[in-house]
Structure 1
Amino acid sequence: MNKPKVYIDGKEGTTGLQIYERLGAREDIDLLLIDEEKRKDVEERKKLLNAADLVFLCLPDAAAKEAVALIENDHTRVIDASTAHRTAKGWVYGFPEFYRYPGEVIGQAARVANPGCHATGFLSSTMPLVSLHILPKDYPLTCYSLTGYSGGGKKMIAEYESGEKGKDLYSPRIYGTNLRHKHLNEMRKISGLDQPPVFCPVVDDYYKGMATTIMLHNKYLLGQPTAKEIYHILMAYYAGQKLISVRYEEEGGMLPANALAGSDRLELVVCGHEEQTIVTALFDNLGKGASGAAVQNMNIMLGLDETTGLHLD
């Protein structure tokens, strides 16, 4: 049987490089590579896009849409890592743990939209609680999300790693202060909430890792569950999953945002008491928040074990 042909359009970007790192040594796929001098040549890209069985798009939104338009056959399947298609008709949202049988949804899809990093952290805690009718759809949710600077791409990485960076780069920086972050559309639509959360992203002086937290008043939830009961609900929801785990933090300890840097797993940490709860998703913004998730989706689309080639430490 022929190996599936896989092409990464935009391999030079942060997400593309991380996907390539996970695929480069694999012998179960045939990785198509573009000549470095032709990587911006539309005709050469078009040839590879149409030769591949599966394509990763690691491009800005407009370029991702243009790349899809270059595909002129009905066999090339696409995983788009940009924001362009996450709420678009005809595209499957690539969060396997949200489907009872991901092989029948993502596995059969021709077009898969890879989730955003902040959206991944938010949805991992919110989606189960909304779908189980524990969190009301009209709940006025708030969320903050800490991320390492690699999430900002090459320009931000260079800014932080410059020997002449300004003093403001040595402290956490709140951004998206217009409250219109590009992940909000998918956060609202995929979660099923009536309105997007008030969302506060924060970038800090470390390379990678995320801590995305939602905050809940338990008395407004169905059945008024305690924090410990919410932990058990999320444990049951994710039972048997290979890449998402749940734990309860009883001691009130600190949660480092880079705890899962280098891993493709995600851990939900539930904290609180009878009246209030916070749920924090710890994961790598380049792992389960981007490239690791994209490779997980590829594995499912190709009928392979979803963890093949991923970092599970």
Structure 2
Amino acid sequence: MSKPKVYIDGKEGTTGLQIYERLGGREDIELLLIDEDKRKDTEERKKFLNAADLVFLCLPDAAAVEAVSLIENPKTRIIDASTAHRTAEGWVYGFAELLPGQRQRIKFSSRVANPGCHATGFLSTVAPLIELGVLPRDYPLSCYSLTGYSGGGKKMIAEYEAPDRDPLLDSPAPYAIGLCHKHLPEMRQVAGLDFPPNFLPVLGDIYKGMATTVMLQNHLLNGTPNAQDVHDLLAGYYQDQKLVQVTPFGGAGPRLYTSQLAGKDSLEITVSGTQEQTLLTAQFDNLGKGASGAAVQNMNIMMGFEETAGLSL
């Protein structure tokens, strides 16, 4: 049996390079590589897009939409890492552990939208609690998400790593302060919320890592659970998952570190709090489970490989 052919459109970007690193040494696929001087040649790209069994799109939104239009081979399957198709009809959301049956939907789909990094952290805690009937769909949610600068791509990486960089970059920087971050549509739609959350991302002076936090008032939850109850619900929900784990209640210590899972493709949820309030924090690598690691996991599911093949646990 021939090896499936895989093509990364946009391999030169941060996400594309990280996917390539995870796939470059694998012997169970044939990685198609376009000539460097032709990577922006539409006709040449079209040949590769249609020759592949599976394509990763690591492109800006408009370019990702264009790339999909170039694919005429009905057997070519797509994983889009851009924002373009995350709430689009006909596309499956690529977070296998998130909802019942989601892994099977990914397995049999020809069009999979890779989740956004902030959305991954938010949804990992919020969506299960809604699915379990604990968190009301009209709950007034607030979320903040600490992230490394690599998620901003090559331009932001260069800005942070310049020898003469602005001293202000030493300090954490809230951004998207107009409360209209591009991940909000998927956060609301996939979770099934009546309203989008108040969401504040915060950029830190670390290369990669992410800690996404949601705070809950327990008296507004169905059944009025305490923090321990919420922990136990999430621990049961993610039981036996290889890439999403819930840490023991009360065992996290006084601090959580944004870069704790940097270099890993897994995600850890910490639940803490009291009888009255609950704190939910998802820690992961914004380039791992938040981007390229999730994309490779989705490829593994779609192609019938071991789900964690090529990933760092």
TM-score, normalized by the shorter chain, greater than 0.5: yes
Tell me the distance in 1 between the aligned counterparts of 2:157 and 2:23. Answer: 23
The question of whether the paired residues in 1 share the 8 Å contact of 2:99 and 2:128 is answered with no
Give the secondary-structure state (helix, strand or coil) at the position aligned to 2:245: strand
Letter aligned with residue 189 of structure 1: Q
Task: Report the CA distance between 1:252 and its aligned residue.
Answer: 4.9
Partner of 2:55: 55
Task: Report the CA distance between 1:103 and its aligned residue.
Answer: 4.8
Partner of 1:162: 162
**Cα separation, partners in 2 of 1:188 and 1:102, compared to 1, 3 Å:** closer
The question of whether the paired residues in 2 share the 8 Å contact of 1:13 and 1:58 is answered with yes
Tell me the distance in 2 between the aligned counterparts of 1:26 and 1:99. Answer: 29
Letter aligned with residue 61 of structure 1: D
The question of whether the paired residues in 1 share the 8 Å contact of 2:95 and 2:103 is answered with no
Partner of 2:258: 257
1:302 aligns with 2:303: yes
Partner of 1:76: 76
Aligned residues, how many?
312
The question of whether the paired residues in 2 share the 8 Å contact of 1:213 and 1:278 is answered with yes
Letter aligned with residue 176 of structure 1: A
Tell me the distance in 1 between the aligned counterparts of 2:99 and 2:70. Answer: 30
Give the secondary-structure state (helix, strand or coil) at the position aligned to 2:97: helix
Query: How does the TM-score come out when normalised to structure 1?
Result: 0.98
Partner of 1:14: 14
Query: How does the TM-score come out when normalised to structure 2?
Result: 0.98
Letter aligned with residue 303 of structure 1: G
Bigger mean CA deviation after superposition, 239-248 or 251-260: 251-260
The question of whether the paired residues in 2 share the 8 Å contact of 1:103 and 1:301 is answered with no
The question of whether the paired residues in 1 share the 8 Å contact of 2:34 and 2:45 is answered with yes
Letter aligned with residue 311 of structure 2: L
Task: Report the CA distance between 1:99 and its aligned residue.
Answer: 4.1
Task: Report the CA distance between 1:167 and its aligned residue.
Answer: 1.3
The question of whether the paired residues in 2 share the 8 Å contact of 1:99 and 1:105 is answered with no
Tell me the distance in 2 between the aligned counterparts of 1:103 and 1:195. Answer: 26
Task: Report the CA distance between 1:253 and its aligned residue.
Answer: 1.0
Letter aligned with residue 276 of structure 2: E
1:242 aligns with 2:242: yes
CA RMSD, Structure 1 to Structure 2 (Å): 0.9
Tell me the distance in 2 between the aligned counterparts of 1:207 and 1:235. Answer: 30
Tell me the distance in 1 between the aligned counterparts of 2:254 and 2:294. Answer: 28
Tell me the distance in 2 between the aligned counterparts of 1:102 and 1:297. Answer: 11
**Cα separation, partners in 2 of 1:217 and 1:252, compared to 1, 3 Å:** farther
Task: Report the CA distance between 1:305 and its aligned residue.
Answer: 1.2
Task: Report the CA distance between 1:98 and its aligned residue.
Answer: 2.3
Partner of 2:291: 290
Tell me the distance in 2 between the aligned counterparts of 1:204 and 1:155. Answer: 15
Tell me the distance in 2 between the aligned counterparts of 1:131 and 1:105. Answer: 17
Give the secondary-structure state (helix, strand or coil) at the position aligned to 1:97: coil
Letter aligned with residue 262 of structure 1: G
Is there any run of 5+ residues in structure 1 with no aligned partner, and where?
A: none
Partner of 2:187: 187
Bigger mean CA deviation after superposition, 247-256 or 189-198: 247-256
Give the secondary-structure state (helix, strand or coil) at the position aligned to 1:79: strand
**Cα separation, partners in 2 of 1:124 and 1:251, compared to 1, 3 Å:** closer
Partner of 1:128: 128
Partner of 2:273: 272
Identity score, percent: 67
